Structures are given as structure tokens and as C-alpha cells.
């Protein structure tokens, strides 16, 4: 699919998969974060609750930008992987789940897994802001293992409906490991 | 005199606090456009600049900036050229000489130290991504930029990154561009 996200029934795609879809969104590098924010807004406005895993920007910046754009952050949990990867101090906030600087994939997975019961809504999402950014710090095998776990989680979760959204810059979508992940998703949406 | 026909002002309009802009330009125009951008930010917007130079030595930059009417007292220079090229080193209060463009650990420490030390509205200016990529592996450089930009985002410090259009590795360009608030193309 190669469409503007606002013009496609994105929520309808999730619904087609009983809100257990695994989606890869290929985005232009221009306005990448702006578009990420609009996707989050769309999900929240459709009664989803979710986890925003931020590899690109620290929590404080993402949170501030969301507030400025009037995006309701009360339905969001954050994992500040950007600050952890860069060895920066993570902000103390109820909505921000801390992870250690080593950012082991198992720890990340545990943080996601233990967050799910905190959601009130049955419709949930896991939003990965950039798959390629984690690969700057972690071996591809670990990045692949991370995505494999998340795909498995969505497929097997029974109590909650969880959709998984991987984001990737268009110019990086031809990387071999991104192609491998794309092979496992339900839909690739290009915007 | 600053060149009048480059309307840089509009390129910096409506940006969020702590903005980060990637400025892509041609090799021929890069100096002229950089000077216009610096003049706008330092003289008109009253920012204090932290200039990381991988392209020109401090002495040359000061001459160029002063010639264009940019107040160099409002700039801290991180010069990655002079030492490695065994150029004359002029010790003044607003320059730090770093060993080389490939010494990313020390560059990172110097940038972080400068960001913490300088008070007021400031921006980090990196000139240029293209040059730094000549001296560093793409993976190491992308990680360096990610680390620096994260620090800047946490502290609300703005940033202007210069890249030469069509001369920067496409994948690294994408890795960096997706971290920025705006991409400005002035070729």
C-alpha cells in the first residue's frame, strides 16, 4: 500500500485483523516524527491504549511534543530507550518505564510484557518509533530477536487485543533485516 | 555583507523549542549558506553558538565570520582540524582544539561539556556530516549523532547539522534526517 495515512482506513486495517495486526509503516524522513505523532493521535482517538517505545528521542522531548499537539498522554506508556542507549538519565515519571543503559533485549521485552496489564482498554498497541535506530546499538541478531518476540506476543496474546506497529524510514526499508521483518508482518503501509 | 538572496529566516520559522534542523546544500554554496544561517541565528535570534568544525580551522572560521559581521564572542569553537593538521594553534577563551575528526569520544565529551557550561539559548552547529563521514565509519558516526542529539533534546538545546546534498551516504543521511525536526534543502 502506498498512501497517505490520513486517507487510508488505518484503523480499519487493524480491525480486519481483530486489532491484532502487525504493521510496518514506511515513512519519509521528512516530518518523520510529526507523522509518528499523527499515528498515535489516530490510535488514541479510536480508544486504543499503548506503549510508545522511543529509540529516536528521549521521553521528555516526546512527551513535551505530544502535550503541545494536544495528544492525550494519559493512555500512553513510554519506554525511553533513546536516553538509555545514550547513557543519559531517564526522567522520573509514572508513565515512563525505566530500563538500564545496557538495554538488553530481554529487559526490554520484560518491560513491555509487564506493562500490558496496566491498560484499561482491551484495544492496545505497541509502537516502535524506529527499528533501524536500535540496530545502531545492538547486533542485528538481537534486533531481529526483539521483533520476533513482539510479533509472537501479538499473535499469542488472548486477553488483550494488541496491534504492533513498526516504523521505518523509507530510505532504509531495503536493508536486509528490515526486509526480513517486513516478511513477518501482516501489512506494509508506505506513506 | 551577508548575501541577500537567501531567505534563511523562513526556514527557521515555526520550529518547536529545542529544534534540530538538517541543512542540505551543495558543496559550492555550503559556505555561503552556512554563514547566512549563522548570522541569522547569532545576530538576529541572539543564540549562542557551539560550532563543531570538521571542515575549517578556528583561525579561518573567525576571519570568515568576522568578515560577515558575526560576533565571534558569542561562539564557542570546537576545532577538529588544527591539531591533526599541525596548524598554528591560537589559544583564546572561545576555542577548544580537539585531536581529530575521528576522535568521536572526545568530540562527544567536549560537546556535552560545552552544552552544560554555556548558559542561555544556544545551538550546536555541526559542519559537516559529510566531512565527518570521511573520517568515521557510518555506524559509529550514526551512533555518535544519535547520542549527541539525545543529549540536546534532553537539555532543550537546538541544533543545525550541515550536509552536502548527494555526497552523504544515503542510509546515514536517512538515519540522521529522521531524527531532525526539519530538513532544509538550499542548493
pLDDT tens sequence across B41-53: 999 999 999 999 9
Band (A8; pLDDT cuts 50, 70, 90): low
Query: Which of B22, B115, B153 to mutate against chain A (most A CBs within 10 Å)?
Result: B153
**Ranges assigned E (strand) in A15-122:** 22-27, 49-54, 76-80, 96-97
Whether A160 maps to a domain, the answer reads no
Nearest Cβ partner for A86 among B18, B146, B170: B146
Rg (CA), chain B: 15
Give the CATH number for residue B22: 3.40.50.300
Domain that includes residue B115, residue range: 16-182
Residue B2 above 50 pLDDT? no
The Cα angle at residue B27 between residues B5 and B20, in degrees rounded to 5: 75
- Measured in angstroms, the CA of A24 and the nearest CA of chain B are apart by 16
Phi/psi at B135 (5° precision): -105, -5
**Contact by Cβ (8 Å): A73, A95:** yes
For residue B179, give the nearest of A56, A88, A172 by CB distance.
Answer: A56
The answer as to whether A147 is a domain residue is: no
In this structure, is the dihedral angle defined by the CA atoms of residues B124, B2, B71 and B67, taken in order, positive or negative?
Answer: positive
A78 close to A96: Cβ distance less than 8 angstroms: yes
Q: Are A136 and B143 an interchain contact pair (Cβ–Cβ within 8 Å)?
A: yes
Residue B19: closest C-alpha in chain A: A61
Residue A35 lies in a domain: yes
- What one-character DSSP code corresponds to residue A160? S
ipTM of the complex: 0.89
Asked, for residue B104, whether it belongs to a domain, the answer is yes
In a domain, B21, yes or no: yes
The number of beta carbons lying within 10 Å of the beta carbon of residue A14 is: 23
| Nearest residue of B to residue A29, measured between CA atoms | B178
What range defines the domain where residue A71 resides?
1-10+18-139
- Interchain CB distance below 8 Å, B153 and A57: yes
Residue A74 included in any domain: yes
**Which among B71, B168, B58, B50 has a CA at the least distance from the CA of B114?**
B50
Percentages (nearest 5) of helix, strand, coil residues in chain A: 50, 20, 30
Query: What pLDDT, in 10s, does the model give residues B109-136?
Result: 999 999 999 999 999 999 989 999 999 9
In a domain, A125, yes or no: yes
Task: Please report whether residue A174 resides in a domain.
Answer: no
Indicate which CATH number applies to the domain containing A58: 3.40.50.300
Helix ranges (H only) for chain B are 30-38, 58-67, 104-117, 129-135, 138-155, 170-177
pLDDT score for B9: 86
What is the pLDDT confidence band of residue A160, given thresholds at 50, 70 and 90?
confident
Q: Chain-centre distance of CA B112, in angstroms? A: 14
pLDDT at residue A89 tops 90: no
Residues in A touching B179 (Cβ below 8 Å): 56-57, 133
Give the pLDDT band of residue B87 (cuts 50, 70, 90): confident
Number of folded domains that form chain A? 1
How many Cβ pairs within 8 Å bridge chains A and B? Answer: 71
Query: What is the DSSP code (8-state) at residue B47?
Result: -
Amino acid at each position: 500500500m502506498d498512501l497517505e495515512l490520513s486517507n487510508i482506513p488505518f484503523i480499519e486495517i487493524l480491525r480486519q485483523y481483530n486489532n491484532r495486526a502487525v504493521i510496518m509503516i514506511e515513512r519519509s524522513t521528512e516530518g518523520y516524527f510529526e507523522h509518528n505523532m499523527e499515528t498515535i493521535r489516530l490510535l488514541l482517538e479510536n480508544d486504543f491504549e499503548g506503549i510508545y517505545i522511543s529509540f529516536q528521542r528521549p521521553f521528555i522531548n516526546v512527551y513535551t511534543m505530544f502535550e503541545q499537539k494536544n495528544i492525550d498522554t494519559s493512555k500512553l506508556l513510554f519506554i525511553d530507550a533513546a536516553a538509555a542507549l545514550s547513557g543519559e538519565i531517564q526522567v522520573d515519571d509514572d508513565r515512563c518505564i525505566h530500563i538500564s543503559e545496557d538495554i538488553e533485549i530481554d529487559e526490554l521485552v520484560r518491560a513491555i510484557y509487564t506493562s500490558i496489564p496496566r491498560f484499561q482498554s482491551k484495544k492496545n498497541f505497541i509502537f516502535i518509533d524506529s527499528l533501524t535506530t536500535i540496530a545502531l546499538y545492538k547486533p542485528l541478531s538481537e534486533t531481529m530477536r526483539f521483533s520476533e518476540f513482539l510479533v509472537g506476543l501479538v499473535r499469542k496474546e488472548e486477553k488483550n487485543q494488541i496491534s504492533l506497529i513498526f516504523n521505518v524510514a523509507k530510505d532504509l526499508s531495503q536493508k536486509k533485516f528490515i526486509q526480513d521483518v517486513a516478511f513477518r508482518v501482516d501489512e506494509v503501509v508506505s506513506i | 555583507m551577508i548575501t541577500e538572496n537567501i531567505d534563511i529566516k523562513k526556514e527557521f520559522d515555526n520550529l518547536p523549542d529545542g529544534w534540530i534542523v538538517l541543512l542540505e546544500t551543495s558543496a559550492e554554496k555550503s559556505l555561503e549558506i552556512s554563514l547566512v544561517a549563522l548570522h541569522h541565528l547569532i545576530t538576529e535570534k541572539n543564540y549562542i553558538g557551539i560550532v563543531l568544525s570538521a571542515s575549517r580551522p578556528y583561525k579561518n572560521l573567525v576571519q570568515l565570520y568576522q568578515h560577515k559581521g558575526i560576533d565571534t564572542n558569542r561562539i564557542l569553537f570546537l576545532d577538529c582540524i588544527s591539531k591533526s593538521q599541525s596548524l598554528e594553534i591560537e589559544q583564546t577563551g572561545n576555542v577548544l582544539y580537539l585531536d581529530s575528526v575521528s576522535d568521536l569520544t572526545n568530540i562527544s565529551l567536549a560537546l556535552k561539556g560545552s552544552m552544560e557550561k554555556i548558559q542561555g539559548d544556544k545551538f550546536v552547529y555541526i559542519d559537516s556530516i559529510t566531512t565527518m563521514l570521511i573520517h568515521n565509519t557510518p555506524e559509529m558516526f550514526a551512533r555518535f549523532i544519535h547520542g549527541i542529539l539525545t543529549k540536546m533534546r534532553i537539555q532543550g538545546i537546538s541544533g543545525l547539522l550541515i550536509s552536502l546534498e548527494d555526497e552523504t551516504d544515503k542510509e546515514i543521511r536517512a538515519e540522521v534526517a529522521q531524527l531532525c525536526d526539519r530538513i532544509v534543502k538550499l542548493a
